[in-house]
Structure 1
């Protein structure tokens, strides 16, 4: 074969690679860890291209024949929708620690303590950053990032290009999974929140029995001390429940991809 033959075969393969990178890149934009502000765009594009090469090697992907056509636009939109859905399901579960931090921080009196989260560039409670960091480390320790890549590759079997529109049942499952965030956040904050609730009840009874008692001088230091001690005691159990949150999010993503 002449050198011209090799040059002419590059364009279809490049178009196929770019078409595959749409789904992979959309998943990385929405998924936790990969969507962090600290990760440069060049790294995400390079990872999308590397995974796209693996997808092309494992699946016979046939992109649309014409680049500038309505069919191609709809196909690209469907690929982006699937990628965003895969990453968004994981991102929903990663919001549970923020809800738990709001419940605990408000009861402890440190709800005003916030800082810029390096993961998303927004201001979040300091306690929520701690929980999110622990959830991220556990997610990486459980090879969750590798399982995410595996599910993205497997999604081309369940939702091949051209038939990648999500059904109403799948979209409904994604919406209903959002309720799990609130349930998981409340369950994560339950051990510490229950002790702080008991402390508030005790301080309330003291205020009724001794009206001259300064509640701000007694209640705020007591709630802060009880909150810190209860966090130290309950953190092993909270760590175990963080593993449950990761497992549930990966299971929900697998159900979305594989049915």
Structure 2
């Protein structure tokens, strides 16, 4: 019995990191996936990782409680870093919806349960399908697996004091907004020109109700432009996936101090 307890304690730490990672990571954290399935998959993955990751034996004491908190923080930090990067897709959709006039028609995001822009949810669904098609979910799982090379199980201290992690996250935020602007700019620019044209028409022909006429025109133009530039948008999405993986790795490096 004395030999079993330390092994179970290590397995519990692995489960805590993987489960907290699945809480916020895109795709795996969708509320449409039953909670029992997510928990079961997290436990199964943790059990497989336990036998492949070299971990020391740990005793359940006061230090162990700190390790549990640290594992939860590590999993949440890595997953949140990936979620922040992929949020660029939702922001791009919000920018497009604002110009189209769809900003008043939000839908429920199955991942967060909050209201999100219609176009943003549309692009997000296609992005997740692209992520699956490119086997990106395998790379996401590799990220949590190789996190033990950067942050061992028995390491309590994490590097939060020097400010390097905060600086990196702020730069990641800036890059995320830049990529969102790149995805939305073609549609936003064309809709801006449509607004200018509608303004000229409203000045020259005051009898036309420009609000009634302009709304369907902007929607039609936006959809046409989105179809034309969809390839370019998803080229940026592929770059976004690559940036997400690099961000996860860099966050692990900064947290572990390696």
Q: Same fold (TM over 0.5)?
A: yes
Aligned to 1:60: 54
Deviation at 1:230, TM superposition (A): 0.9
CA separation in 2, counterparts of 1:163 and 1:173? 22
Map of 2:151 onto structure 1: 159
Aligned equivalent of 1:3: none
How big is each residue's C-alpha offset from its partner over 1:146-172, in whole Å with a ceiling of 9 and x where there is no partner?
112112121111111233514431343
- In structure 1, the residue corresponding to 2:103 is in which secondary structure? coil
Q: Which runs of 4+ in 1 moved over 4 A?
A: none
CA–CA distance in structure 2, aligned partners of residues 216 and 76 of structure 1? 58
Q: 2:90 is matched with which residue?
A: 98
Q: Are the aligned partners of 1:108 and 1:224 in contact in 2 as well (CA < 8 Å)? A: yes
Q: How is 1:74-223 mapped onto 2 (pairs within 5 angstroms)?
A: 74-163=66-155, 165-167=158-160, 168-223=163-218
1:17 to 11, 20, 37: 11
**Of 16, 30, 38, which aligns to 1:36?**
30
Give, in whole Å, the separation in 2 of the partners of 1:8 and 1:74: 21
Which is higher, the Rg of structure 1 or of structure 2?
1
TM-score (norm 2): 0.89
The secondary structure found in structure 2 opposite 1:16 is helix
Alpha-carbon displacement from aligned partner over 1:71-111 (angstroms, at most 9, x marks no partner): 22222121111111111111112211211111111211222
CA contact (8 A) 2:6 2:59 kept: no
**1:8: how far off?**
5.1
> Across the two proteins, how many residue pairs are aligned to each other?
251
**Can you give the 5+ residue segments of structure 2 that lack an aligned partner in the other structure?**
none
Q: Give the conservation status (yes or no) of the 8 Å contact 1:94–1:135.
A: no
Question: Any unmatched runs of 5+ in structure 1?
Answer: 1-6
Once the 2 structures are TM-superposed, how far is the Cα of residue 222 of structure 1 from its aligned partner?
Answer: 1.5
Distance 1:216 1:151 in 2: 50
Partners of 2:169 and 2:28 in 1: CA distance? 20
* Residue range with higher mean Cα deviation, 94-103 or 131-140: 94-103
Deviation sequence 1:177-212 (CA, Å, 0-9, x none): 122222221111111111001111111222233333
Decide whether the 8 Å contact of 1:151 with 1:257 is kept in 2. Answer: no
- Name the SS of the counterpart of 2:33 in structure 1: coil
| Alpha-carbon shift at residue 174 of structure 1 (Å) | 2.3
SS of 1:95's equivalent in the other structure is: helix
TM-score by length of 1: 0.89
- Is this contact kept in 2: 1:100–1:186, CA < 8 A? yes
Moved more, 159-168 or 143-152: 159-168
Contact 2:19 2:75 in 1 (8 A): yes
Query: Equivalents in 1 of 2:209, 2:35: separation in Å?
Result: 54
Greater shift in the superposed pair: 241-250 or 36-45: 36-45
User: Is the Cα contact below 8 Å between 2:107 and 2:116 reproduced in 1?
Assistant: yes
Deviation at 1:140?
Answer: 1.5
